[in-house]
A and B are shown apart, each in its own frame.
Chain A
Amino acid sequence: MSDDTRDTQHKRPGGLFSFLSKSRATKPGEIYGVPGQGETLWLSLGSIAVLLFVWWLVTAMGWVKPLFVPSPGAIVQKFVDVWQNGFTNTAFHQHIWVSTARVFGAFVLACAVGIPLGIAMGMSPAIRGIFDPPIEFYRPIPPLAYLPLMIIWFGIGETSKVLLIFLSVFAPVALGARAGVRSAAIEQIHAAYSFGASRWQVMLHVILPAALPEILTAMRIGIGFGWTTLVAAEMVAATEGLGYMVLSASQFLQTSTVIMGIIVIAAIAYTFDLLMRWVERRVVPWKGRM
């Protein structure tokens, strides 16, 4: 048997549906039977390339009108155009800045209030009893449903916009922090108490650090909700912001601006998520390892 044939025989079965068949023995260095094991980078890059290609193909061949799907080139052109000339007499960076400030402002506020409250809810049955019903009541309601109320109560200024985003970030962050309180093993807590620790010390030195991985995950989920709510927040009485840009462009059927805005929002959100993952690796390298 030549080296080549032996090599192909030992190769892991690839393909989309390989997970349905029985696994072959693994190569040294891999662990048998770990679900979803393997590299994904090249497949992901390939997937993006194929999507872009299909997009380009359907527009270049004229199968779909530019009004419905503009070509990738048109999007880039629009980006350069808006970058240089702004949108509705406002500079592009101003739109980005306003939206980012709204989302991150609301995010910081939601973390500042939600994390301590969530931890308090995890630690104290009294606080949990008081705050659980209101949070669980408003959490599943779509922000669009209570947007009118926000505007009636808090006016058409920044307050109602930031508050709307705040509410959508607040619930997942608070609930994540609350669940994180349970992460500390009872042995870790007992060990601290048996050194004569006070309840406050146990919270500060054991429960809080143990909850960090869940809190960071909750923050990642929360900021995602924040970006989702941005467009709703900028629906009424906004003259700046990426959400406003997308909405008003759609009213004038400027499809390329809509898609460009969506991509910019996604890019900012993804960059921040990468940053959070980096923070996670630095702050909680022990996550899931003990």
Chain B
Amino acid sequence: MKHSKELIVGLSLAAAAVVFVLGIRFLQDVPLFRSTYVLYTHFDSAGGLSGGSPIRVRGVDVGTVEHVALDPDNRVRIRLHLDNNVHVPEGSYAEIGGISALGSNYVVIFPGPADNPSITDEGYIEGRSTPDALEAVTERSVRLTENVEEALANANLLLEDTGSLIGATGADIRPTLRALREVTDALAQTLREEQASVQQIIRNVETFSEDLAGISGGSADTLAQTLRRLDQIAGHIEGSLGTLEGATRNLDEILHKINHGDGTIARMLNDPTLYIRMGSTLGTLESLMQDLQENPRKYLRHMDIVDVF
């Protein structure tokens, strides 16, 4: 019993040490009692992986990343601890999954054909580097930021130029500005004075557009019908124009004939003898009528009808 106190103290300290070490290993997800085997892989970038990051096959945790280190050739060498009951066939490859910004990266192993022999302890598995989505975005945003900065610098230059320009020609610009202000003031005043009429105009325009809207909305059918009819009429007019052209052509022919002295009318127009004859005929007729007026009986006597009276 002499050592009992010392025993208790020693026991408690030893227990604490064991709990501490096992606790750290447990929280690092290094399997405590399961037996594991080791695989190596290489990545171009660790992409947020660290010791303790999980390894997943089809979404199931099968082990942990034990160690992430930089090789002499500046590639990232990763030591993986896999559970013994997990078989990784030859032809499998590893990728880094997860989003590094959230700190939840893991190694994904895509198993090769199941028939292939398993990769054994201390074996090597191909590591394929995929660009981390967020990293890509970050890279781009850096470029974007540069562009924006450049644009801002240009804008600054422009503003400086403008400033110096205004400074140099300030004397010219100021009166212009004053005049402009006067114009604006006048316009404002006019608008104030004529507010009622402006409003009236606007109201009218509104009513008009409303009416228009009503018309085109309410009698859209009628409008369409009218347009159709107009189309028909235009068609008819086109036909009529064709006919008219034919008529004109005929008329041309006729006139041509007339001009060249063919036919009755041409003769009538072109031959003066008819006129002369008509003139003499008329002269004869006149003298006859005169004679008739003077001596009606001379002619009427031979008419039986006159005897009736």
Chains A and B form a bound pair: no
